Every structure is written in structure tokens, then in C-alpha cells.
Amino acid sequence: MRNEKRNAPPETLPVRRLNRILTMLLSTIKGLTDEGRDLPIRWNLMHMYTSSQLAKLLAIRRGIDPELAGIAAALHDIGVVMTKKHEGHAEAAPPFVYDIVERFNRVSGTKLSQLSEEETEAIVKAVVQHSEKELKSDDPFVELLRDVDSIDAYLHGVEITEGRLERCKKVMIELGIEMK
């Protein structure tokens, strides 16, 4: 029998920084239109929130900081949001991620701790590499974001590639869910 205490979630999940970043993203996104976009902006918004929730769950399961995982998941498609294009969105994301983190750190005040350089670099690395579903990384944070993006698309009924399907199966097994 495995140690249930090890995977037990804390009494209160510390996600105040994540919630502030989600609010900032919503404020940025709500004024955007679907014109010229590969995907409707509402899809990006929905995917941002649901990916963030899934990331926290998987992070708790895997012993990764759930708030940082939620932030990375919320930001993982910021390249799509800002460029309007899916092609090359992960590689295009860093300037947008750095801008959001810089704005967050500027307005976080004394109530919220700032995102450190180390946290920011972990987020940027995972965001840039999240589209490479067929690759395997030694970085658990990168793997988490790839898995979250895959399972979230699957749960939204998006037709998924073989690389995503393998990740979905792996996550379902990890969660004890039989995938038919």
C-alpha cells in the first residue's frame, strides 16, 4: 500500500499568484476578437482555465508545485492568443510570458510574492517545449505541461494526434482511469 499522506493535498492550496495571473489574462483576452484567428478566442480562454485546473491536479499527484504548474498551463498558449496563429505559437510565446510575469511582479505589491527568475525560466521552458508531444524530456515540469495540454484537448473532444493520444493514455493510467 502506498503512502497516502505523501500525495495528500494541503488544507488550502496556495494559488493566489495564479488567480491574479488568470485575472490579468482574462482582462487582456476579453477585448480581443476572433478576426484572423485560427481558433476562436473563447476556445483559448476555456483551454487556459481548464488546463490550469488539470495542471494543479497532476502537479499534486506528481509532487510538483501546483501553483507554478497552474501558471504555466494558463500561459502555455499565450503565443496563440497574441499571434492569432497556432503554427509556431510555442516558440513565439517567450516575449509574451516575460511581459505578463513582469507586469505581475510590478503589481503584486506586498500581498503576493513575485515570480522568481528561476520560476519564470521554468515556465518559459515548459511553454516553449509543450507542443513537442512526441518527445520525452527529463524535466518533469515540461512533461507535466505536455501531458496537461494533451489530456485537456482530449477532454474537450478535440481530435488528437498519436503523440497526444499516448500521453492521454499514460495520464489516465496514472489517475487510475480506464480509457476505452
The length of the chain in residues reads 180
Q: What is the pLDDT of residues 76-125, one digit of tens each?
A: 999 999 999 999 999 999 999 999 999 999 998 778 999 999 999 999 99
Question: What cell does 149 get?
Answer: 495540454
Q: Is the residue at 3 inside a domain?
A: no
- Count of structural domains, the chain: 1
| Parent domain of 25 | 16-174
Q: Is the residue at 100 inside a domain?
A: yes
How far is the C-alpha of 147 from the C-alpha of 87, rounded, in Å? 19
Q: Give the CATH number of the domain where residue 116 resides.
A: 1.10.3210
pTM of the predicted model as reported, rounded to 2 decimal places: 0.91
Q: Is the residue at 180 inside a domain?
A: no
Q: Is the residue at 56 inside a domain?
A: yes
Q: What is the pLDDT of residues 34-68, one digit of tens each?
A: 999 998 999 999 999 999 999 999 999 999 999 99
